[in-house]
Amino acid sequence: MDTYYDPADLAKFAQLGKHSPDLAKKFFDYYGAVFADGALSARDKALIALGAAYAVQCPYCIDAYTQETLKHGCDLEQLTEVAHVAAAIKGGAVLAHTVQTKNAAAKVGM
Amino acid sequence: MEKPLDRASKGLELAPTLARRGSPLARGAEQLARLDATKLDDARKGDFEAHLARAELSPLRATHLEVLQLNVGKVCNQTCAHCHVDAGPEREEAMSRETAELALRVLGASDIPTLDITGGAPELNPNFEWIVCEARRLGRHVIDRCNLTVLAANPLAHLPEFFAEQRVEVVASLPHYRALNTDRQRGAGVFERSIAALRRLNALGYGVEGSGLRLVLVTNPVGAFLPAAQASAKAEWKRELARLYGVVFTDLYTITNMPISRHLEWLERSGNLERYLQTLVDAFNPLAARSVMCRTMVSVGWDGRLYDCDFNQMLELEVGDARESRPVPRHLRDFDPELLATRIVRTGRHCFGCTAGAGSSCGGATT
């Protein structure tokens, strides 16, 4: 069955450079530098990346950063807490917007 | 009366060994054949010697002897899922007093500075304390490779004090600083008992800065991937073990799981063998190859036979590569330090486990 997402496509990400090599090189150089040990450790960055991957719901990123965080020694309980952090931020963002509803309702309501 | 082994096993989740199940993978030759038959995408066809040649290291020779590693037997109170020894409570292989005495005579006649005692759970060998005392009397550094849980049960509960008196370096296995992955790999109940043992060792000064009592933790991946970077993992483990359990330690070694024995069986069963072996081959690091532990050690089996390392021992590859011009003695009774110090190491595809990424050895990463 055809699907929009195929796990085998994850490995093709590097082919991004085929039609715009200069931009792809800039992106991959930047990407590599972002995830190196810095003020935050590479492990912390991988956990943040997994949280962001859940939030943007990218199946490639979720696959890649699940594997990456496991390599950094994280266990499934820790990764599940990452998902809850993403869920809390996304859920909180929804709920915080109820203020817009209240504001709009206050303008026109009695 | 209950035996120490029974007491030490009580309450821990156990699984039958490959040997008990009569698995073909209990034999070293079968393990080597399966590794050789694994399909790999590699310009050098997954030939370890060809990779060594690329690093200008073939044939791989020992450089000197720093460590005599005694594997005193396969008896263990645990049955860890990845165990390269296929150790467990039902194993009976154990170094006799006679062989232990021979080993200590060899050590005394040599200038090898370190005796590294492993198993199984080495503490379950009835000659264990005698071996430690004799090696210390010879002025040698002694390492005990400890699974921690064995220290909880009488009559072995005095061992932490014994270790401290004898200034033994304790190198303890703990795959993770939390229970989930530790128990998944080592059996339910292992983590809680390991933390209790670490607290006892800490109370005696082990792992405490300035005490001189080294407590090293060994972590290995719980799955088909390479270990985390050792230095950053150590910082994280120090922080988390202190925060969660108030436990301190001296150093953390990261060790790659070797694709042999029970780990090989798991890799096959889970459909990970090809990918894992490919990962190891792709990550071949010439710098790590230069520093592999077999170049500075000799491994002794429970029956006195000699090997290049504990992995070769479990694969039944005795010392003495076919390319040697002179035969290398294969038993303690013929121990020749000079010949062994420059011997050619026997290799195979399993050796990619020690040369991948940052490298792996009994002393952790090698680069």
**Residue B2 pLDDT exceeds 80:** no
- Own/partner long-range contacts of A99-107 (Cβ < 8 Å, ≥24 apart): none
For residues B96-116, one letter each, b for 16 or more C-beta atoms within 10 angstroms of the residue's C-beta and e for the rest, the string is: beebbebbbebbeebebebbb
Beta strands in chain B (DSSP E): 67-71, 114-118, 141-146, 169-173, 215-219, 251-254, 297-300, 306-307
Tokens 């309450």 belong to B11
Enter the pTM of the model. Answer: 0.91
| Total CB pairs under 8 A between chain A and B | 37
Nearest-CA distance A63 → chain B (Å): 14
Mean pLDDT, residues B295-300:
98
Nearest-CA distance B226 → chain A (Å): 6
Instruction: Please choose, from the candidates B90, B80, B91, the residue with its C-alpha nearest in 3D space to the C-alpha of residue B13.
Output: B80
Separation between Cα atoms, residue B318 and residue B180, nearest integer Å: 37
For an interface test with A, give the residue of B174, B178, B253, B254 to mutate (most A CBs within 10 A).
B178
- Cβ pair B226:A43 closer than 8 A: no
ipTM above 0.90, yes or no: no
**Position B52 confidence tier, pLDDT thresholds 50, 70, 90:** very high
Residues of A in contact with B219 (CB under 8 A): 73
What pLDDT sits at residue B3? Answer: 83
Nearest-CA distance A65 → chain B (Å): 13
Mean pLDDT, residues A54-69:
95
**Residue B1 pLDDT exceeds 70:** no
Q: What is the pLDDT of residues B331-361, one digit of tens each?
A: 999 999 999 999 999 999 999 999 999 999 8
Nearest CA in chain A to B256: A71
